[in-house]
Structure 1
Amino acid sequence: MVTEAKMEDNVLISYSVVAGSFIIFQFLFSVFSPRISPKVCSSYRKLAYAKQCEWDSRIVSTVHALIVGGLCLYILVYDDAVNADPIWGDPFQVKMNVAITCGYLVYDLLLFARFWREMRDPYMVCHHFAVIYAYGYVLNRGVLPYFANFRLMSELSTPFVNQRWFFDAVNMPRSSKPVLVNGMAMAIVFFIVRIAVIPSYYSQVFATFGTEGYIRLGIGPQVAWIVSCVILDILNVFWMYKIVRGFYRIVKSKPGGKPTRNHAD
């Protein structure tokens, strides 16, 4: 009974964090960025309304990525319980991080619904739903904390992706040094945290198959875990291809050229 009560309390805390996260990110989008961005960058006021909205959304995305990515690294290094038992280790810190992300994803999905005509990106919507589906088991049952944390580390590449968009929004030449340096850093970090880790990640997944902890999960979490992983990695490979292709085009293009980009770029 004590254990069940504690689990219920943890679930309540988790969803309270989800709600708080949603409110904070919505505040950053609606209030903070529109007030601060014009003071930091004069080009903000010259953007069309749709571009200003995407600017604000990427400010929020960067804040989320820095918070969650930093917490992921901390958990990976210092959370011995999660590292010792990747399926059933004490999930509290991971659940709080996942709850922050779920609040952000709900905010972002509502943003897509509101500005679908301007920010149309079905791939990102699929990504969000796949993540929420899988992380629901983490929040409700506290399972798979190590793998959930491992997945969240992919957010470390997001600030570079967003910075590329900011450079493009203010018409910075694609051949300029800041754009090229950021593009190279983006490609490297994206590859490290989303592509290079795929063999290691799945080797750890396969190592759990047939174990007592894996069997205890039940079919629902098992399916959510594996299916969401496959979907996310297909998207990651697709986005890696777009990043490499885009960087190649920047290096080869004539000065002043400007590609079209969507919310996922």
Structure 2
Amino acid sequence: MNFQVGFIRTNEFGWLFSILASIVMCKIIYEVTRLFSISLFKGYMKLNEAQKLEWNNRGISTFHALFVAVASIYILIVSDLFKEGPENELITHRTSIISDTALGISLGYFVSDLAMILWNYPALGGMEYVLHHGLSMISIIQSLVIGQAQFYVLMVLFTETTTPFVNLRWYLDTAGQKSSKLYTCNGIALFLGWLVARILWFVYFFYHMNSHFDQVQKMHPLCFYSILVIPPILTVMNAYWFWKITRGIIKTLTKTKHSA
């Protein structure tokens, strides 16, 4: 197998600023979430310290999910960066200031969130979250430093669109609204969103990678082997979580039907 060994982008570190800015922004969003929750949700002050910590932390992950969803759609679909064409550069080797910035902001979030998870372990999540964040960080760092595979990294980051539904489910549960219609509707939205963004989307991901494998092979070895290993691991994790979500929505709908 012949590899085209890519050069390390030693002269393009503008995305480092976006990483640092993202870390600062995470702290700001944490505090803003806390202040708004105190003002708008009366039950916030009744939460214990662990619940308040997770409540504020989920505000950060929701903001990141919304940002990365919009950024991914724009870069992958709206912009011409990854437009197919016979004379265009290899899709696996394309980058731009916007894609670098988006990935830098996302990396800053994962660094901040992983630090909080480890510092408060296991209050904010177990080893599955550490593994998820660790794999995401490895992919983004390689993509930024080497300047390759950004198309596929952005495709994976798009799956974060399900996070707001996951967080709303936790918020409603913590607020004692588990029996509300909003909880049920959000559960259905989470099920459908997960099916599309984390199951079917990954099917398309592997289809696209297979149909462009001649270009994938020409990536730097680190990016090449990462793209072969990390997405399948995330797929297994997504499938496991989807199984749990499916069981949960069936249980919720069954209870709703019996109580009607």
TM-score, structure 1 length as denominator? 0.87
Asked if the contact 1:82/1:88 (under 8 Å) is kept, the reply is no
Residue 217 of structure 1, CA deviation: 1.3
The answer to whether the aligner puts 1:238 opposite 2:240 as a matched pair is yes
Deviations 1:219-247 (A, max 9, x none): 22111111111111111111111111111
2 CA distance for matches of 1:202 and 1:215? 14
Deviates more, 1:80-89 or 1:19-28: 80-89
Asked if the contact 1:21/1:100 (under 8 Å) is kept, the reply is yes
| 1:188 corresponds to which of 168, 187, 192 | 192
Deviations 1:4-61 (A, max 9, x none): 89x4443x111221111011102222x2222111112111111001000000010111
Counterpart residue type for residue 28 of structure 1: I
2 CA distance for matches of 1:164 and 1:83? 37
Secondary structure, counterpart of 1:217 in structure 2:
coil
Secondary structure, counterpart of 1:171 in structure 2:
coil
Task: Identify the residue that residue 262 of structure 1 maps to in structure 2.
Answer: none
Counterpart residue type for residue 93 of structure 1: I
Deviates more, 1:183-192 or 1:198-207: 198-207
1 CA distance for matches of 2:243 and 2:73? 26
Extract unaligned runs of 5+ from structure 1. Answer: 256-265
Pair 1:71–1:46, CA change in 2 (3 A): same
Task: Identify the residue that residue 39 of structure 2 maps to in structure 1.
Answer: 39
2 CA distance for matches of 1:191 and 1:46? 35
Counterpart residue type for residue 127 of structure 1: H
What is the 5 A alignment of 1:1-265?
Answer: 7-10=9-12, 12-29=13-30, 31-84=31-84, 85-174=90-179, 176-209=180-213, 211=214, 213-253=215-255
Pair 1:82–1:254, CA change in 2 (3 A): closer
Write out the 4+ residue segments of structure 1 that deviate beyond 4 Å after TM superposition.
none
Deviations 1:88-142 (A, max 9, x none): 1234322211111110011111111121142241111100111111111111021
Task: Identify the residue that residue 3 of structure 2 maps to in structure 1.
Answer: none
1 CA distance for matches of 2:178 and 2:33? 24
Which gives a bigger RCO, structure 1 or 2 (Cα 8 Å, sep 6+)? 2
2 CA distance for matches of 1:23 and 1:63? 14
Deviates more, 1:69-78 or 1:159-168: 69-78
TM-score, structure 2 length as denominator? 0.88
Secondary structure, counterpart of 1:116 in structure 2:
coil
Deviations 1:131-175 (A, max 9, x none): 11111111102111211111111011110110000000100133x
Pair 1:240–1:166, CA change in 2 (3 A): same
Asked if the contact 2:209/2:216 (under 8 Å) is kept, the reply is no
Asked if the contact 2:162/2:194 (under 8 Å) is kept, the reply is yes
Extract unaligned runs of 5+ from structure 2. Answer: 1-6, 85-89
Aligned length: 246
> Counting helix residues as a fraction of each chain, which structure ranks higher?
1
2 CA distance for matches of 1:253 and 1:15? 50
Secondary structure, counterpart of 1:90 in structure 2:
coil
Task: Identify the residue that residue 258 of structure 1 maps to in structure 2.
Answer: none
